[in-house]
């Protein structure tokens, strides 16, 4: 039976209320950044973080972090290839060189031993990705980073309230990046946010976010009108971008932040429904491994196909034929995308050495290459659990056909 908690609304009352309040200001500059401040304070408080800085999207967050860390031409940033390519785009936007580290076969997360193998004297940062809602094994990564003096950015776009050894994913690295894009746990249509406990880094990130304005700071998102009305006022103390999150998006993201537990829990419930329905087939349709010290927030529920003869397409087609309404493959590995195979990086290829270009080829990350053609990503954004039960039963029926 579906209880009264089986159905929720993704967009509830406060989203509309807060948007109306923003519109009532008629976007007067004197009223600007009110919801930006409220969102940042609420988000930081939720994660127990000192600073939160909102952004126009969850790629600008990582770009800004790299810029604030002083990373640029000649520097290398280690990233996993098994994720959405925006993680790598941020490195290229900084004119730095992406270097790919392999992943673990059971968790699909970046592997610390692979990271160690690709570190060079030019390595300045690692971007980990909490893929599908699960944190990587962060302790050995942080230990390795400390050993080499490397910065760590957590790409937490897919992981809200996931935990690692009792800590929230996103509170372990030097800073972390979250996304409010439409498919994520929380959404305002678009948007992103950075968390950090480093006040110096936070101030640098804010300046990257806000055109290098002198009058902004780690916890200050708006310049003072009285200051800028002085003809002798120097506005820009550094280069920066206009990466600020619009007030309308901040208003929606604030309302979503207030409901974070409810929205994340719904996805976890859906994942558990799929997990239980397919239990009899986990010898060959194997879910992402979640260790005892981890809590997965399940942006998607993911399995790898280890059937000796069945192809990905065969299972997908059978699922759809039985009434399945959504399954996704893993992204093509970033270094297999045409932008890399053709070196069409809008001029940034000139910053990448021939030696590093030679690494963007088959065999660079064999585990990720093996997994990419075998992973099934099932939706967890069912706001009515009855629909999730129906889809899980369709998947169970589909897998039974092949057993």
Q: How far is CA 195 from CA 22, 52, 179, 284, 299, in A?
A: 25, 5, 12, 38, 19
Phi, psi of 110 (to 5 degrees): -55, 140
The residue ranges of DSSP E strands in 166-287, in sequence order, are: 167-168, 175-179, 192-196, 285-287
Q: Which residue has the tokens 């998102």?
A: 221
Residues of the chain with CATH 3.40.640.10: 13-259
CB–CB of 80/98 below 8 Å?
no
- What topology does CATH give the domain 262-331+368-401? 3.90.1150
In this prediction, residue 101 carries a pLDDT of 98
Residues of the chain with CATH 3.90.1150.10: 262-331+368-401
SS3 state of residue 375: strand
Task: State pTM to two decimals.
Answer: 0.96
CB atoms within 10 A of CB 339: 17
CB atoms within 10 A of CB 214: 17
One pLDDT digit (tens) per residue for the chain, 403 residues: 334 458 999 999 899 999 999 999 999 877 778 999 999 999 999 999 999 999 999 999 999 999 999 999 999 999 999 999 999 999 999 999 999 999 999 999 999 999 999 999 999 999 999 999 999 999 999 999 999 999 999 999 999 999 999 999 999 999 999 999 999 999 999 999 999 999 999 999 999 999 998 888 888 877 777 677 778 888 899 999 999 999 999 999 999 999 999 999 999 999 999 999 999 999 999 999 999 999 999 999 999 999 999 999 999 999 999 999 989 999 999 999 999 999 999 999 999 999 999 999 999 999 999 999 999 999 999 999 999 999 999 999 999 999 8
Q: Is 28 a catalytic residue?
A: no
In this prediction, residue 3 carries a pLDDT of 42
> What CA–CA distance (Å, rounded) separates 250 from 35?
6
Q: How far is CA 11 from CA 40, 260, 263, 380, in A?
A: 20, 12, 10, 16
Report the top-level CATH class of 13-259: alpha beta
43-48: long-range contacts, CB 8 A cutoff, minimum separation 24: 43/178, 43/193, 43/195, 43/253, 43/257, 44/195, 46/257, 46/260, 47/168, 47/170, 47/171, 47/195, 48/168, 48/171
Q: Which two tokens stand for residue 23?
A: 């519109």
* Catalytic member of 184, 220, 225, 311: 184
Q: Which residue has the tokens 């692979």?
A: 114
Q: Side by side, which strands form the sheet with 300-305? A: 285-287, 300-305, 375-379, 327-329
Q: Which two tokens stand for residue 117?
A: 């193998």
Among residues 54, 93, 79, 66, which one has the least CA distance to residue 368?
79
SS3 state of residue 105: coil
CB atoms within 10 A of CB 336: 18
Q: Which two tokens stand for residue 352?
A: 């990448």
């Amino acid at each position: 039976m579906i209880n009264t908690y089986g159905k929720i609304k993704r967009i509830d009352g406060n989203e509309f209320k807060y948007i109306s309040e923003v519109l009532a200001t008629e976007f007067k500059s004197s009223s600007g950044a009110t919801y930006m401040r409220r969102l940042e304070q609420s988000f930081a408080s939720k994660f127990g973080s000192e600073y939160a800085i909102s952004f126009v999207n969850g790629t600008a967050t990582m770009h800004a972090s790299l810029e604030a860390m002083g990373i640029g031409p000649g520097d290398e940033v280690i990233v996993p290839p098994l994720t959405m390519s925006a993680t790598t785009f941020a490195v290229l936007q900084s004119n730095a060189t992406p270097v790919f580290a392999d992943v673990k076969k059971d968790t699909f997360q970046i592997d610390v031993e692979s990271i160690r193998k690709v570190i060079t004297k030019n390595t300045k940062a690692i971007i980990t990705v909490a893929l599908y809602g699960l944190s990587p094994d962060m302790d050995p990564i942080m230990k390795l980073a400390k050993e080499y003096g490397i910065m760590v950015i957590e790409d937490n776009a897919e992981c809200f309230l996931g935990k690692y050894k009792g800590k929230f994913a996103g509170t372990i690295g030097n800073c972390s990046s979250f996304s409010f894009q439409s498919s994520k746990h929380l959404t305002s249509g678009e948007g992103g946010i950075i968390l950090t406990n480093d006040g110096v880094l936070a101030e640098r990130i804010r300046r990257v976010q806000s055109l290098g304005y002198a009058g902004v700071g780690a916890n200050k998102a708006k310049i003072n009108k009285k200051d800028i009305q002085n003809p002798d006022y120097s506005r820009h103390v550094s280069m920066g971008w206009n990466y600020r999150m619009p007030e309308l998006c901040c208003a929606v993201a604030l309302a979503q932040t207030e409901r974070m537990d409810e929205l994340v829990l719904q996805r976890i419930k859906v994942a558990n429904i799929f997990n239980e329905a397919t239990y009899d087939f986990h010898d060959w349709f194997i879910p992402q491994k979640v260790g005892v010290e981890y809590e997965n927030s399940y942006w998607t529920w993911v399995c790898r196909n280890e059937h000796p003869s069945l192809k990905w397409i065969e299972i997908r087609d059978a699922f759809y034929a039985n009434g399945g309404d959504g399954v996704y493959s893993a992204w093509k590995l970033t270094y297999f995308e045409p932008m890399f195979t053709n070196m069409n990086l809008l001029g940034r290829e000139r910053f990448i050495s021939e030696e590093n270009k030679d690494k963007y080829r088959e065999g660079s990350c064999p585990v990720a290459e093996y997994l990419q053609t075998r992973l099934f990503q099932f939706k967890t954004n069912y706001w009515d659990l009855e629909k999730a039960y129906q889809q899980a039963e369709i998947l169970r029926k589909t897998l039974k056909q092949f057993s």
